[in-house]
Amino acid sequence: MKTCTVYGDMQADSAAEQYPTVPLCDDCVAEDSQAGENRQIVTQKSYDPSYGDTCDWCSTTAEEEAAAKA
Ligand SMILES: [Zn+2]
């Protein structure tokens, strides 16, 4: 699990909507890194549970991810 800043709604007024910070699972981060110019992730940081524990793209939770790796 990572906490990432992604491209959001560029028409929005606030930076928080233009570049929302969301939790993403490792699978989605890995997939995005293969997406070339269609990449959605601006920056990725280490996982911060204060932004949530469910992947914004595929709804995998941090708990499910940890269980899948165990
Ligand atoms: Zn995911």
pLDDT in tens, 12-63: 999 999 999 999 999 999 999 999 999 999 999 999 999 999 999 999 999 9
User: Are 6 and 22 a contacting pair, CB within 8 Å?
Assistant: yes
Neighbour count for residue 28 (Cβ, 10 Å): 21
In the reported structure, the alpha carbon of residue 6 is separated from the centroid of ligand 1 by a whole-number distance in angstroms of: 13
- Examine the pLDDT at 70 and tell me if it is beyond 90: no
Rounded alpha-carbon distances, angstroms, from residue 12 to 9, 37, 56? 5, 22, 19
Tell me, what's the pLDDT at 36? 95
Work out the average pLDDT over 8-15: 96
In the reported structure, the alpha carbon of residue 2 is separated from the centroid of ligand 1 by a whole-number distance in angstroms of: 10
pTM of the model: 0.91
pLDDT band at 69 (very low <50, low <70, confident <90, very high): confident
Exposed e or buried b per residue across 46-56, where buried means at least 16 C-beta atoms within 10 angstroms of its C-beta: ebeeeeebbbb
In the reported structure, the alpha carbon of residue 36 is separated from the centroid of ligand 1 by a whole-number distance in angstroms of: 18
Alpha-carbon span 5 to 14, nearest angstrom: 14
